[in-house]
């Protein structure tokens, strides 16, 4: 495999220099900038990340500012990106940098991977892009590109497949390790596409690609699906007073969306009488209940199916935190799942 892969290095680097996108975190090779961008880009597409990245850097331009920010403010800043443990780990890692590395990001793969929230891929990306260490950074894009190039039918979801590709890439890693890793990722993002199929006519590796030669680009990479995802039904309540104050509550400190705020809700779909009974148990005097919308939200291992209701109430009570729509927008981190039920005032 190595002999075949060696032939991809030169054409790939030439293609990257000509075709790489201008991205805000590529303007310099500052390790803080690359770190934040790589964490944001996990599970999120580049175009969606740009605005979050700019906002984040405006508010938290340094590792020190990240280490010192209040967690709730950080979660608000992260709102909409999801996977909120990523944001918490950023703060934990920044604290480690301040305490153990004198405020400067670690410069080696071995030190980076010890940091909270930094795994093999992110450590490899930072170490190669910022410090030119000859280490791999293998994500889904890279797995797809290399599997097609070598014509591999091994399941890319298996850790051993990833390990094998990392080993083979390390053996051909050029001095320009950061550019090489980014080139592979960029090719997967722009040309060697999933689902609808790659744009092989634009690919610099077409002559080296077994999948193209054997017309297997639709079959490769091989992904053997795991067990069926869990599904959960919910009834979500947008409780509102006549002065347009909205009820929210803080979720538990452990588990899904831990420590975030939520709209009051219950498991399962409630009938009208069940809703009235629940609202009475919450010590609320209800004026009107109106159906708002149905919404679905996809997490890593579970899907939520929500029916959302607007409930007008006579007055606030002590069970919930009552906030204005402006306060909710500016101060309290509300996960995207619950924002899908916020149809009022938009």
Confidence of residue 323 (pLDDT cuts 50, 70, 90): very high
Residue with tokens 């890793």: 181
Residue 345, pLDDT above cutoff 70: no
Confidence of residue 26 (pLDDT cuts 50, 70, 90): very high
Long-range CB pairs of 117-122 (<8 Å, 24+ gap) are: 117/39, 117/85, 117/86, 117/88, 117/89, 117/90, 117/92, 117/93, 118/35, 118/89, 118/93, 120/166, 121/38, 122/35, 122/38, 122/39, 122/42
- Which pLDDT belongs to residue 197? 76
Lowest model confidence (mean pLDDT) among 36-40, 98-102, 331-335: 331-335
The mean pLDDT value for 55-68 works out to 97
What are the helix (H) ranges across 191-324?
210-213, 272-281
Please name the residues in contact with 126: beta carbons below 8 A apart, sequence gap of 6 or more: 31, 34, 35, 38, 105, 112, 118
- Segment 126-141, tens digit of pLDDT: 999 999 999 999 999 9
Measure CA 268 to chain center: 27
**Residue 137: closest CA among 201, 174, 180, 74:** 180
Provide the residue count of the chain. 346
**Strand 302-313 with 230-240, pairing:** parallel
**Residue 143: closest CA among 192, 206, 197, 195:** 192
- Which pLDDT belongs to residue 256? 85
Confidence of residue 344 (pLDDT cuts 50, 70, 90): low
Q: Do 230 and 45 form a contact (C-beta atoms < 8 A)?
A: no
Give strand pairing partners of 286.
313
User: Mind listing the domains of the chain with CATH numbers?
Assistant: 2-213 (1.10.340.30), 230-339 (3.90.79.10)
Joined together, the tokens standing for residue 185 give: 């990722």
- Which pLDDT belongs to residue 165? 96
- Segment 192-220, tens digit of pLDDT: 999 777 899 999 999 999 999 999 999 99
The catalytically annotated residue of 38, 79, 182, 186 is 38
Joined together, the tokens standing for residue 298 give: 């996809």
Q: Is 38 a catalytic residue?
A: yes
Helices (H) and strands (E) in the chain, counts: 16, 7
When the pLDDT of each residue in the chain is averaged and rounded to a whole number, the result is 93
Cα R_g (the chain), whole angstroms: 24
Residue 283, pLDDT above cutoff 90: yes
The mean pLDDT value for 41-45 works out to 85
Q: Above pLDDT 90, what percent of the chain?
A: 85
Q: Is 192 helix (H, G, I), strand (E, B) or coil?
A: coil
Q: Do 260 and 334 form a contact (C-beta atoms < 8 A)?
A: yes
Q: Do 35 and 105 form a contact (C-beta atoms < 8 A)?
A: yes
- Segment 254-278, tens digit of pLDDT: 888 888 899 999 999 999 999 999 9
Confidence of residue 1 (pLDDT cuts 50, 70, 90): very low
- Which pLDDT belongs to residue 198? 86
Q: Is 114 helix (H, G, I), strand (E, B) or coil?
A: coil
* Torsion angle in degrees (nearest 10) through CA of 223, 225, 226, 227: 180
What is the secondary structure of 246-269 as a DSSP string?
EEEEEPPSSSTTTT-EE--EEESP
E strand or H helix that includes residue 290: strand 286-298
Q: Is 288 helix (H, G, I), strand (E, B) or coil?
A: strand
């Amino acid at each position: 495999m190595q002999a075949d892969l060696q032939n991809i290095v030169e054409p790939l680097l030439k293609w990257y220099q000509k075709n790489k996108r201008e991205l805000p975190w590529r303007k310099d090779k500052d390790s803080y900038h690359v770190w934040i961008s790589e964490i944001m880009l996990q599970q999120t597409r580049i175009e969606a990340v740009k605005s979050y990245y700019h906002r984040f850097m405006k508010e938290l331009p340094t590792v020190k500012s990240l280490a010192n920010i209040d967690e709730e403010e950080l979660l608000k800043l992260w709102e909409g990106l999801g996977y909120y443990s990523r944001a918490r780990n950023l703060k934990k890692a920044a604290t480690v940098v301040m305490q153990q590395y004198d405020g400067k990001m670690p410069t080696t793969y071995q030190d980076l991977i010890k940091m909270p929230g930094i795994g093999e891929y992110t450590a490899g990306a930072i170490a190669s892009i910022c410090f030119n260490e000859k280490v791999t950074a293998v994500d889904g894009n890279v797995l797809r590109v290399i599997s097609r190039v070598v014509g591999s039918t091994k399941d890319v979801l298996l850790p051993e497949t990833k390990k094998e590709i990392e080993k083979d890439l390390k053996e051909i890693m050029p001095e320009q390790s950061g550019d090489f890793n980014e080139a592979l990722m960029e090719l997967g993002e722009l040309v060697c596409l999933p689902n609808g199929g790659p744009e092989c006519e634009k690919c610099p590796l077409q002559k080296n690609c077994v999948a193209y030669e054997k017309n297997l680009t639709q079959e490769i990479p091989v992904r053997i699906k795991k067990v069926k995802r869990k599904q959960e039904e919910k009834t979500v309540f947008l409780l509102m007073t006549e002065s347009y104050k909205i009820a929210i509550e803080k979720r538990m400190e452990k588990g899904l969306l831990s420590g975030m705020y939520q709209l009051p809700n219950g498991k399962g779909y409630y009938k009208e009488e069940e809703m009235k009974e629940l609202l009475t148990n919450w010590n609320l005097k209800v004026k009107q209940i109106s159906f708002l919308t149905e919404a679905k939200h996809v997490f890593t291992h579970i899907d939520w199916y929500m029916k959302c209701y607007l409930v007008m109430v006579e007055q606030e009570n002590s069970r919930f935190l009552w906030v204005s729509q402006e306060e909710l927008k500016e101060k309290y981190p509300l996960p995207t799942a619950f924002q899908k039920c916020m149809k009022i005032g938009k």
